[in-house]
Amino acid sequence: MSVGWRTPVCDWLGIAHPIFGFSHSVDVVVAIARAGGYPVLGLAREMPHEIPQILRAVDARMQGLPYGVDLMLPSQVPQAGDIGEVRAALPAAHQAFVAGLRERFAVAPPVKPSFFTSQVRSEALFDAQIEQVLASKATGVATAIGLRGDLIARAKARGKLTFSLIGSVRHAQKAMAMGVDVLVAQGYDAGGHTGMVGTYSLVPQIVAVAGDTPVLAAGGIGNGAQILAAIAMGAQGGWLGTLWMAAVENHTPPALLARLVASGSEDTVITRAHSGKPCRVVRSEWIDAWAEPSALPALPMPLQQALTGDVFASIHEHNDARLIYEAAGQSVFAIRGSTTVAEQMRDLVAGMQEAGQRLHGFARSKD
């Protein structure tokens, strides 16, 4: 009788279960590590000067358990960006459109300073983030949206494992040519910035070209049977993001958790309204307003966040039940209420076990 599913990547990374958890929450990340998964802390939304302190706190709590950190590094951003100057130069029609929406929905100004109210994604910001990530004790570095060969080489030179989130065969090949250690095949179903191919179609295609490079499946995964299905397709584990928002450790605003609980897969949509790039989010009146016939098209990244970042910050800060939204995948179907990471990990592991037994039950010896 097996006591769990392990893939080679588990031994390579020193983890008990082939479960990879992406989260922006330090508490979630620590809890995933303690439960035997491999957590990856998203740093793309942190104030740059706070990252060293965040990483010190993670290290203190991790007590040597392996974990990764993640950056989002799109190309085609300005060299440097002062939020005030960028905002002042935004198209007048867009400024007027958003002012109209703010008035229509009575959006209160945000009070706390945050990434979304004070930062513009730029090469200067990325350089600062990259230096902090390289100096960290994280055992892995993941990147999404953009592929940067120099970062991959430098991370590997420091003994860090590199992960790349990719959504197509072409990007997988590019990542492998740069020496990426682990491919995260992230399908259309995923929460956050996503490509056009569904996870179930993407994973086998990436496995087919990956050779010895391990592949993880991401997008739409909400239970253990799906992780085992991904392993059956040749992946070495599942990479989950949305699910953890149901955990108390995520400190999800109550209105957002209520929305996630009430939402099904069809309530997530791909929109450019959040960042300027296609991003799957759970719908709200704010997101719907950008899909109205009279709406203006979103501005390209990073301008859309300069335009609307303070609204995103405000609706989270004020727990705005009408407008609150967040990146969320079709996996939202698996969020049924508040829980803990430990319970989620137990359920995922048990789900893999049950699915395995189901499969064995169907296997036939020659009769």
Ligand X SMILES: Cc1cc2nc3c(=O)[nH]c(=O)nc-3n(C[C@H](O)[C@H](O)[C@H](O)COP(=O)(O)O)c2cc1C
Please report, as ranges, the residues that interact with ligand X according to CB under 6 A.
Answer: 22, 42, 44, 70, 72, 142, 144, 165, 186, 189-192, 218-221, 239-242, 326-329, 331
Is 13:38 a contact under the CB 8 Å cutoff?
A: yes
Of 325, 299, 303, 329, the residue nearest 312 (C-alpha): 325
CA–CA separation, 72 and 174 (whole Å): 17
Is 247:217 a contact under the CB 8 Å cutoff?
A: no
CA distances from 267 to 26, 106, 232, 287 (A): 27, 24, 29, 11
The distance of closest approach from Cβ of residue 366 to ligand X in the complex, given in angstroms and rounded to an integer, is 40
The nearer residue to ligand X, 186 or 271, going by C-beta atoms, is: 186
Name the amino acid, one letter, at 211.
G
CA–CA separation, 212 and 145 (whole Å): 23
The nearer residue to ligand X, 102 or 263, going by C-beta atoms, is: 263
To which H or E segment does residue 329 belong? none
The nearer residue to ligand X, 9 or 221, going by C-beta atoms, is: 221
Query: Nearest 5°: CA angle at 108, between 285 and 258?
Result: 45
Residue nearest to ligand X (CB): 241
The distance of closest approach from Cβ of residue 288 to ligand X in the complex, given in angstroms and rounded to an integer, is 19
CA–CA separation, 229 and 235 (whole Å): 9
Name the amino acid, one letter, at 96.
A
The distance of closest approach from Cβ of residue 170 to ligand X in the complex, given in angstroms and rounded to an integer, is 18
Is 216:140 a contact under the CB 8 Å cutoff?
A: no
Exposure pattern of 77-100 as b/e (b: 16+ CB <10 Å)?
bbeebebeebeeeeeeebeebbee
The nearer residue to ligand X, 107 or 142, going by C-beta atoms, is: 142
Bridge partners (DSSP) of residue 38 are: 20
Cα torsion 16, 21, 24, 27: sign: negative
To which H or E segment does residue 176 belong? helix 169-177
The nearer residue to ligand X, 133 or 218, going by C-beta atoms, is: 218
The nearer residue to ligand X, 240 or 298, going by C-beta atoms, is: 240
The distance of closest approach from Cβ of residue 192 to ligand X in the complex, given in angstroms and rounded to an integer, is 3
The distance of closest approach from Cβ of residue 367 to ligand X in the complex, given in angstroms and rounded to an integer, is 40
The nearer residue to ligand X, 90 or 178, going by C-beta atoms, is: 178
The nearer residue to ligand X, 176 or 217, going by C-beta atoms, is: 217
The nearer residue to ligand X, 77 or 94, going by C-beta atoms, is: 77
The distance of closest approach from Cβ of residue 65 to ligand X in the complex, given in angstroms and rounded to an integer, is 19
Of 270, 309, 284, the residue nearest 192 (C-alpha): 270
The distance of closest approach from Cβ of residue 218 to ligand X in the complex, given in angstroms and rounded to an integer, is 4
The distance of closest approach from Cβ of residue 134 to ligand X in the complex, given in angstroms and rounded to an integer, is 17
Going by the DSSP 8-state scheme, the letter that residue 265 receives in this structure is G
